[in-house]
Amino acid sequence: MRTDSNEIRFHSLDALRAYAMLLGIFFHAAWFFVPHYYGTTRTDVSANNGFHFFFYWTHLFRMQIFFLIAGFFARLVFKKRGRVGFTLHRLQRIALPFAAGWIVMYPLFTFLYLWGGIESGRILNREPFWSLWAQHVREWELNWFVLTHLWFLYYLLLLYAMVLALEALLAGVVDRHGKIRDWLNRQFQNVIQSRWNMAMLAIPLWVTLWWNDNLFGITTPSASLVPMWSVLAAYSLFFLVGWLLNASPELLRVFDSRWASKLALGTLLSIPLFLYFNDKITHGQANSLYPMMWPDELQDYSSFRDQLLSAEELPSSDVHARIWGSLSPEYQRFLKEHDTTTLDEHAGLVSYLNRHVILEADLSNSTVKHEGDTPDSEVDDQGMANRAILESAFPSGVITQNFFGRPESKRERFLFLGAYALSTWLLIFGFVGLSNRLFANPSPTVRYVADSSYWLYIIHLPILFQINILVADEPWHWLPKFVLYNVVAFAIMLPSYHWLVRSTWIGKILNGRRYP
């Protein structure tokens, strides 16, 4: 049974979950203002590096907090309803919104992404728009957003399935008397009550971050229905911490201690992390997708363009001529007509080079030896061979050279990911403590925010996409423009929740009840 003090803590966690979801709306609004192309509909011309830091800082803790609280409330529902009741409850509250939302969001995302791409010059369209849209809807591999921003619901469902299987195994076979679970709870209590709690929790997170192989942190796994096991492992850690916290809810008092100092220290630690990451991505070294390029790995568009244009009259045996011949008529025309590019045009060109030159072209009929690459000196994969040829065709400074010889050392990576993991837990402890301080008592306003946050998060991104497409080229100051994105979005989302969701069957599905 829960005590009254535990009830208070549950109010604070429910509020924190809601505000973490609302923070995701501001996170995605900032996404458009990052001064690199990051997969948005369009990059806003008012981009500012401050938004890049906010985007990075938020990614350190936002979804981690969400999965921790999801684990906490998952155990609460499981203990209250049992296996069957838990399964039915999660199917209604998670699986049904995911399925219904995905059916709407995936084709809508595709529509807006293509529209923004054509408007910005990121996509050079040579066929009717609706044919292009239908092709992208059918061929999932063309899109990075197959799961859309609802990927977190999909991964929650995977975690629920894992929990049900593990609980059945423990209760029915391995741990019928609960001794293993009692031991695990005691060890967890010792960790949380230790003065080194955040450092101890950072160790398993550091392992999953190493596995993710990404200086940005945990990868956003929206590109495929096939689970990214490194991502699932990372979020499983937070889910497990939440699950174990629910078994010993009195431990939440530990988070109250010096919460402001933890927030400050976690934020201060995130600054050098961001600066290191930003330097690496600017120089093409934060890319784990080799042989494909990040946009910044094509460093000098003017030299690249000049060399390709001069190759038009060269014999087909010349490597530059072969690369030129691999380009579509649209991109050949683009290179002739554009001596500079916008961020989106630049990203579109690199995306085309990745797909149609590096991955699909036949620039060489033989294996290519790439000095200093991987431990295997002979590269027989066509994409790797094409990337090697592309690098050899252009001097360093035009296209990033010899990627595998230049990533951060293992020592740098060790220190960076350790600091990243510690910063994440500092921020999590700080925000849980802050929430305990601010939202310990039930509040009608906070309850309304908590109820609305699920719906707002589900619908917010296509609304922001539409705003972005319409105003991205307006040369306004970044601050009022960022405010505009959010004010317009909330002006659409909040009334839709109040009038279309709160007192309807949709509200019953999302919130578990209809309000009068």
- Show Cβ contacts of residue 299 under 8 Å, excluding neighbours closer than 6 positions: 284, 397, 398, 399, 400
End-to-end alpha carbon distance in the chain: 30
Strand stretches in 192-253, DSSP E: none
φ and ψ of 298, to 5 deg = -90, 90
How confident is the model at residue 199, as a pLDDT? 95
* Structural domain boundaries in the chain: 48-284+406-440, 301-366+376-393
Q: Pick the closest to residue 382 from 366, 395, 405 (CA basis).
A: 366
Contact status, residue 38 vs residue 124, Cβ threshold 8 Å: no
- pLDDT score for 8: 41
User: According to the model, what pLDDT value does residue 379 have?
Assistant: 38
Directed axis angle between helix 62-90 and helix 49-59, to 10°? 50
pLDDT at 27: 97
Identity of residue 156: L
317: amino acid identity, one letter: S
CA distance 31 to 47: 9
Coil vs helix vs strand at 364: coil
Question: ∠ at Cα 374 (370, 375), nearest 5°?
Answer: 115
Between CA 283 and CA 269 the distance in angstroms is 22
Please tell me the predicted confidence (pLDDT) of residue 346.
93
Among candidate residues 440, 72, 74, the one with its CA nearest the CA of residue 248: 72
Residue 21's pLDDT is 96
> How far is 223 from 221, CA to CA, in rounded Å?
6
CA 448 from centroid of its chain's CA atoms: 27
Phi-psi region at 361: left, alpha or beta (left = phi > 0; alpha = psi -120 to 50)? beta
DSSP annotation of 440 = S
Of the candidates 9, 7, 499, the one whose C-alpha atom is nearest the C-alpha of residue 252 is 9
The pLDDT tens digits along the chain (516 residues) read 344 444 444 889 999 999 999 999 999 999 999 998 888 999 999 999 999 999 999 999 999 999 999 999 999 999 999 999 999 999 999 999 999 999 999 999 999 999 999 999 999 977 889 998 998 888 877 777 889 999 999 999 999 999 999 999 988 888 788 888 889 889 999 999 999 999 999 999 999 998 887 889 999 998 888 999 999 999 999 999 999 999 999 999 999 999 999 999 999 999 999 999 888 776 655 555 677 888 888 889 999 999 999 887 778 778 888 889 889 999 999 999 999 999 999 999 999 998 888 888 878 753 334 444 443 333 347 788 888 888 888 887 788 765 443 445 778 888 999 999 999 999 999 999 999 999 988 889 999 999 999 999 999 999 999 999 999 999 999 999 999 999 999 999 999 999 999 999 999 999 888 887
Compute the distance between CA of residue 167 and CA of residue 179 in angstroms, rounded to an integer. Answer: 13
CA angle, residues 63, 67, 68, in degrees to nearest 5: 115
pLDDT at 313: 79
State pTM to two decimals. Answer: 0.90
Number of helices (H) and strands (E), helices first, in the chain? 19, 2
Q: What pLDDT is attached to residue 400?
A: 76
**Could you tell me the two tokens for 197?**
């709690």
| Lookup result for tokens 């988070």 | 255
pLDDT of residue 494: 97
